[in-house]
Amino acid sequence: MAQQQLDDALKMLDTFASVGATHFDLTHTNIDGEKRGFRPTQSLAQIKNSMPKLFPGAPERQNNIIVRPTGDKVHFVQLDDLDASGMRRVGEAAFLTLQTSPGNHQAWIAVSDLPTLAEAKDFARRLRKGTGADLTASGATRVAGTSNYKRKYEPEFPTVTIEDSAPGRIMTLALLESLGLLAPAEQVVIPASGTPARVSRRSEAAIRARKWPNYDRCLQDAPYNQGNSGPDTSRADFTWCMMALDWGFDIPETTAKLMEVSAKAKENGPRYAARTAENAATAVHEKGARTGRG
């Protein structure tokens, strides 16, 4: 790959570090989304040192190079699948915006004042909902300067590019609220078990039988993805989780089972699976409230 592409990768990593990223999980997947390698909790120095070694072999193997940033004092929110209107709404709140394929954008926002995990999850949900982003975004992204290897793009694979960066830009909840980017806060109470307080007769039968919903059916019934190349697997995962929770399985059980049945969950890891199950639990609760089920 050209030096400019490697420079873009290093610029992206430095931009994450500028707002508080201390470590990165590094994942390699092939063109079919199958995991081919994983290195957890790499320091900035480690992952930057790896890039010149990883870039040359990626095109030959058609490997995606994917990172997930983490930090002790900041929470990262990935706003994925934003359309032009969503990108305009995000405006100057993002510290990094990427184009991962033609017409497909994502923005990253760093927030400093979310002390608990529960607050961070609720905030991320409100921000994604308020900006029209994918509610099940995994929090991991392909590295700038690398090719986006997916079957639907072959043989002309798009390059992930940096559209804009603002090193050091860290937001607060109050500032994002003042910009009108957050959906209204909701009083959502989910039992500790993650199981709705009341379930249907079908749910009671499922609990007794310990029968899981049919994942393949959810995949078949899912709408097409943005590229119209196949089913929207994020939507299939979300729908399947809603069904599992409504049938009486709790969030940890649903998360673990999703990791077994979903290729996307296997690719993106336990955090994606847990986030999908938690968002589905919220939707199940809201649906129950609208229909008088608790």
Q: What is the pLDDT of residues 83-120, one digit of tens each?
A: 888 888 898 899 999 998 888 899 999 999 887 777 78
> Given 118, 144, 178, which residue is the final one in a domain?
178
Are 82 and 143 in a shared domain? yes
With respect to residue 185, please indicate whether it lies within any of the assigned structural domains: no
Are 169 and 228 in a shared domain? no
4-8, 73-77, 85-89, 256-260: least confident range:
85-89
In tens, the pLDDT along 133-190 reads: 887 777 889 999 999 999 888 899 999 999 999 999 999 988 998 899 998 876 544 4
Are 45 and 127 in a shared domain? yes
pTM of the model: 0.67
Number of domains in the chain: 2
With respect to residue 189, please indicate whether it lies within any of the assigned structural domains: no
Are 275 and 142 in a shared domain? no
With respect to residue 101, please indicate whether it lies within any of the assigned structural domains: yes
Are 23 and 138 in a shared domain? yes
Report the pLDDT value the prediction gives residue 1, as an integer from 0 to 100: 52
Are 48 and 84 in a shared domain? yes
With respect to residue 87, please indicate whether it lies within any of the assigned structural domains: yes
With respect to residue 183, please indicate whether it lies within any of the assigned structural domains: no
With respect to residue 213, please indicate whether it lies within any of the assigned structural domains: yes
Range of the domain at 107: 3-178
Written as six digits, the tokens of 227 are 């590229």
Has residue 69 got a pLDDT over 80? yes
Are 214 and 253 in a shared domain? yes
